[in-house]
Structure 1
Amino acid sequence: MAGTWRQAWLIVGREFKIDRYYVAGSIVFVLYMAFFGGMAIAKLHEEPRLSLVADLIFWIVVSMVGYYFSRRITKYITEDSYTQMLAYYRVMPISPQVIAMARCLQLILATLINGTLLFGTLYLFHSGIREQMNIESFIAFSLLWTGFGLLLNSIYITFELMLRGKAYFWYSLILTVILTAAVLILHFSGVPIVEGTIRICASKGLASPLVWILFGAGAASVYAAYVFIVRGIPLRDLA
């Protein structure tokens, strides 16, 4: 197990070094979206009509917290870059356990870094958010949405390693359409998502069961993705 961890961290370090400029671009993008997206959330208690805008923007922003830009992700359709990566690792050879662990570690690290920047910027730069939630409530809000991000990104990393580039694109697009439709249906049914989670976190804080259920589901989904990837990689046709 120690050898698996060591090899996984070597892959993670190598990937971050290669994509360091893309990572810097990701950080700038997260800060940009946190600042301008936070404007809608900060005004929710004054302008309820912004609820749909906040719902549509925020789930997309949170879903991207687990990623950082990379050359591989920009070429996954034209070059089927993830399949090429798996073929390279198979020749090395690097075990499925190492590949899966490295990808899950990348997801966790990206979520930690981007999530800290996202939620830190939201709270520090938008007084309207501080008026709606104290620090405990905002931590609960952050954990809740981090859980959602982990859950969603666990699906995405499974897609990227189990599917060819074009299939990955179409499955991701279908998932995006489904989630967008769900947001619209909930909103027009009188269930504002972001505003609703703010109310829950503001009233119950870290004592809210929903916070820990969703965060726990996100953590469990990362492990489930690891198991699925380990079992699926040896069965993939990489030719």
Structure 2
Amino acid sequence: MQTLKDSWFILRGDYRGNKMMLLFQLLFSIIFMGYLGAFAAMTINDSLKAGERMVITDYLLLALTPAIGFTYCRNTMKYWSTNSYTKLLAYLTSLPIPVRVILCKRRLQALLTFFFNGLLFFGILYGVGVHLREALSLPSYLVFALTWTGYGIVLTGLYIYFEYTVSGKAYFWLVLLMMVAALGVALLIRLAGGNLLLYTVSNAKSHGFLSPLMWGALLGGGLSLWLFSRLTVYRLKSRDLV
């Protein structure tokens, strides 16, 4: 409990101390999530309208949903050239702050980012997606959104591990590999005759808030954050941050 309080205190201080950074994050998130939400909505509309098992819809959901948990600011967007994640970690570990508090702060940040960006992304997705609104009532759509949010949080645990354990360039290539893996998964599901979009829509419509898929995804997200945090703490014991 003390770790959580300390992490929240540090996170709150970060935002209070740099209001311009917070404003930039808000503006960029609104623009970027608006673009992603509108683009995904148009593709999903086409798929639901025709009732087709389109690979592109599955790929977009698999690849873009984890991006909801990314923090968009000037420093993190330059991770490739400036190795900003490693520099930030080196700075934080030089302070009298336990590593577990640093990781807890990052988890809280990810969850808050998912909440805010998720409202934008899924709100625009539902607002623009005419056929999505026809297929799902608002409560059922909330189940759909929470299911995919859980999936996104699962991968966020892995991305946090990458942030704190590899260089900026290595992080870029790992993210690119994840994008390719998402395409591979979407293609395999299509070849097997399935479709994640249609399945999750059907699941949300038929099960509602009793959906085992939704609760399993959310539980998996929580376990992922906890597990990869522990792995990150272990890995940092031997990582050179210079």
Letter in structure 2 aligned against 1:65: I
Q: Does structure 1 conserve the Cα–Cα contact (< 8 Å) formed by 2:90 and 2:241? A: yes
Asked whether the equivalents of residues 65 and 149 of structure 1 are also in contact (C-alpha less than 8 Å), the reply is yes
Answer whether contact 1:51 1:195 (CA < 8 A) is retained.
no
Tell me what 1:146 maps to. Answer: 149
SS in structure 1 at match of 2:49: coil
How far is 1:164 from its partner?
A: 1.2
What residue number does 1:194 align with? Answer: 197
Report the Cα distance in structure 1 between the residues aligned to 2:237 and 2:168, rounded to whole angstroms: 18
**Partner residue, 2:161:** 158
2:13 equivalent in structure 1: 10
What TM-score, normalized to structure 2?
0.89
The aligned counterpart of 2:61 is 58
Shift of 1:134: 1.2
Question: Do 1:8 and 1:98's aligned partners in 2 also have CA atoms closer than 8 Å?
Answer: no
Q: Hey, what does 1:44 align to over in structure 2?
A: 47
CA distance in 2, matches of 1:65, 1:142: 12
Match of 1:204 in 2: 207
Matched residue, 2:35: 32
Unaligned runs of 5+ in 2: none
Tell me the distance in 2 between the aligned counterparts of 1:5 and 1:122. Answer: 31
Q: Which residue of 1 aligns with 2:228?
A: 225
Q: Which residue in 2 is equivalent to 1:119?
A: 122
Task: Measure, in 2, the Cα distance between the counterparts of 1:158 and 1:112.
Answer: 20
The two structures, once aligned, show a CA RMSD in angstroms of 2.0
Change (3 A) 1:16 1:101: farther
- Answer yes or no: is the 8 Å Cα contact 1:5–1:98 preserved in 2: no
How far residue 136 of structure 1 moved from its aligned partner, in angstroms, is 2.1
In the alignment, is residue 106 of structure 1 matched against residue 106 of structure 2? Answer: no
Aligned to 2:131: 128
Partner of 2:74: 71
Q: CA deviation at 1:59?
A: 2.2
Stretches of structure 1 lacking an aligned partner (at least 5 in a row): none
SS in 1 for 2:65: helix
Q: Deviations over 1:17-47 (max 9, x none)?
A: 5353143112211012212311222233321
Shift of 1:234: 3.6
Contact 1:16 1:23 in 2 (8 A): no
Tell me which moved more, 99-108 or 168-177.
Answer: 168-177
**Does 2:85 align with 1:86?**
no
Distance 1:22 1:221 in 2: 25
AA of the residue aligned to 1:206: F
The TM-score with structure 1 as length reference comes to: 0.90
**AA in 2 matched with 1:131:** E
Between the aligned partners of 1:128 and 1:29, the Cα distance in structure 2 is 23
1:63–1:123 distance in 2 versus 1, CA, 3 Å: same
Q: CA deviation at 1:15?
A: 6.7
Deviations 1:95-141 (A, max 9, x none): 21222122111110110001111112222332211111112211110
What is the CA distance between 1:12 and its match in structure 2?
5.4
Letter of the 2:209 counterpart? L
Number of the residue aligned with 1:177: 180
